[in-house]
Copies of this chain bind each other. A is one copy, B any other.
Amino acid sequence: MIDESLRSLAKGRPILIFDASDREGETDIVVPSQFITPEIVRFMRKNGGGLICTTVKGDFARRSGLVYLEDILRNQYGKDSEITRTDDMKYDKNSSFSLTINHRSTFTGISDRDRFLTISELAGFISRSKGLPDARKEFAKLFRAPGHVILLIARDGYFSERRGHTELSTYMVEKAGLIPSATIVEMLSDTGNSMTRAEAMEFAREHSLSFIDGKEIIDSWLNDQGNGYGSFRYNSSGAHTFPEGIEEIG
């Protein structure tokens, strides 16, 4: 199943990832950020319904001056402030929210075209940011905060630290050999709750999308670790291959 999901991602086709029934119990629509289009943003808002967020890895975040919003709020309100207390979170010990951004060429920032522009420009910037002498400055030249695209930072070391959709989606996109950034959205049901795993699987069937459980991804990661991350398909140059045609979303 994981191979099918990775092939989908490499072709720029969204996949669905269910985290775990003992965690959020939610399914996210996941697309590699480098393949975002206005049509996919529309697909995500109409069929997901949650917050459209874009993930980055910790090394990129540090290079570009991105930090966790929790840390920013603790600087603002005090290290032990009540407002940032998370000991009553139901499914994890922290969130992965970072800044919200707009590309500086967007108009209001929220239309499908504007979110597409912000997300695709971010993916491009991630890809070329390693060689930059001052990535933080360049990042701020391109993007403004606050904005309408919500950034998430995947934990270093992936699932040793956290097993949320941020880590699951970023790991999968990286494993598919792509720029390590995923754009994701929670799938909500008409019942008032998040979609159940069964509802999301039914949606996957109807739209011919690949569906995968977090457990299978984490199992694969454990295996990768044994192999010294040997299955990552980066070129030695750091470049990534872009597929020629992106399939239509069914």
Contact = CB atoms under 8 A, between A and B. Distances in A.
Interface of A: 24, 26, 38-39, 42, 45-46, 49-51, 65, 67, 69-70, 72-73, 75-77, 81-86, 88-91, 95, 97, 99-100, 104, 106-108, 110-113, 116, 137, 139-141, 143-148, 186, 188-190, 192-194
A136 to B, nearest CB: 8
29 contacts: A26-B110, A39-B192, A42-B49, A42-B188, A42-B192, A45-B188, A46-B49, A50-B110, A51-B148, A65-B77, A72-B76, A73-B99, A75-B75, A75-B76, A76-B76, A82-B140, A83-B99, A83-B139, A84-B144, A85-B144, A86-B144, A88-B104, A88-B144, A91-B108, A95-B146, A95-B147, A110-B194, A111-B192, A113-B193
B83 A143 contact: yes
Most buried by B among A49, A83, A104, A106: A83
A77 B137 CA distance: 12
A83 to B, nearest CB: 4
Contacts of A139: 83
Given A49-B45, A188-B110, A83 B194 contact: no
Contacts of A67: 76
